[in-house]
Amino acid sequence: MMTLGMIEHWSEEGFKHIADLGMHYIELDYNNGNDPDKLVELIPDLKKWSEQYDVKVGAIGRWGSDKIDAEGNIIEEELNNTYKILDVCAEIGCPVFITGVNYNEEQSFEWNCDKAVAVLSKAVEYGKAKGVKVCCYNCDWNNFVREPKAWAAILTQVDGLGIKYDPSHCITAGTGRYLEEINDWAHKFHHFHIKGTIVIGDDHVDDPPAGLDMIDWRQIMGLLYAHKYDGMLSIEPHSAVWRSGAQGDWGITLTKNYIEPMIFKG
């Protein structure tokens, strides 16, 4: 069964904010530059806040880090960081870890795919042993495993690797074929972002809440049901216009009230 939650900070305030908004799932994005050892130290608190506020951690993501060096070697420090976050996921009952792989412009696409397969295979194998699914985010923040060409080359070689999908990235990248991508690849989705966007011509105007944007969320939900997606739908307040204050919370509530009626409760 699909569940609705939101990206928030790994703090008591973050968990409380989710609960105050009437949701029960949180996504924590512990991105490049944050020391995973500090997250490991937070495990007792994460468990306490989860129980106290009745908010489960639905996914932990790490955006922006280099996994492969210029010579094509796996960067062991970042691989170990991945392992540490997968350990955190396992300890707190979080089912999904989100990651990406950097691209070397001086090498071929095939070369980059081979290197991505090497490092992602290790992450997926480690995650399987811990009961945690690994997926790649579909945006371009130091990541090329974000569109069908890469998925076809890499996911077919790494059994169990999935996709964190966000339709807005497909639109802002210029293709706009998000319904086709969902229809073709939803069977690989481990996690899904709810983030609106408005693009007029070639101009990206803003990323307002879902329900005030150009994305056809009803068709998306229909496709997710058709492909039996049963993971988290994670609201992502992205635009500076919508990330704080009374208007920010109003936008989150608007999205919640727009998406929630389309979620079958069973």
* Tokens found for residue 252: 């989150």
At 152, phi and psi to the nearest 5?
A: -65, -35
What average pLDDT does range 102-127 have in this prediction?
98
pLDDT at residue 203 in the model: 94
- Whether residue 50 is predicted with pLDDT greater than 90 in this model: the reply is yes
Query: What is the overall mean pLDDT for the chain?
Result: 97
Which DSSP letter does residue 209 get? Answer: P
The whole-angstrom separation of Cα 163 and Cα 125 is 16
pLDDT at residue 103 in the model: 98
- Whether residue 128 is predicted with pLDDT greater than 90 in this model: the reply is yes
The whole-angstrom separation of Cα 198 and Cα 211 is 11
Q: What tens digit of pLDDT does each residue of 71-113 get?
A: 999 999 999 999 999 999 999 999 999 999 999 999 999 999 9
235: left (phi over 0), alpha (psi -120 to 50) or beta: beta
- The total number of structural domains in the chain stands at 1
Cβ atoms < 10 Å from Cβ of 40: 13
pLDDT at residue 176 in the model: 85
Taking every pair of Cα atoms in the chain, the longest distance, rounded to a whole number of angstroms, is 51
135 contacts 191 by C-beta, under 8 angstroms:
yes
123 contacts 158 by C-beta, under 8 angstroms:
no
pLDDT at residue 108 in the model: 98
Task: Give the orientation angle of helix 217-226 with respect to helix 178-185, to 10 degrees.
Answer: 10
The whole-angstrom separation of Cα 118 and Cα 112 is 10
* HEC string for 74-92: ECHHHHHHHHHHHHHHHHH
* Tokens found for residue 132: 């945690």
Q: What tens digit of pLDDT does each residue of 202-252 get?
A: 899 999 999 999 999 999 999 999 999 999 999 999 899 998 789 999 999
Q: Quick one: pLDDT band at residue 69, thresholds 50, 70, 90? A: very high
Which DSSP letter does residue 31 get? Answer: -
Residue 199 structural domain? 3-262
pLDDT at residue 175 in the model: 81
Identify the CATH number of the domain in which residue 79 sits: 3.20.20.150
- Whether residue 266 is predicted with pLDDT greater than 90 in this model: the reply is no
Direct distance between the N- and C-terminal alpha carbons of the chain, in angstroms, rounded to an integer:
8
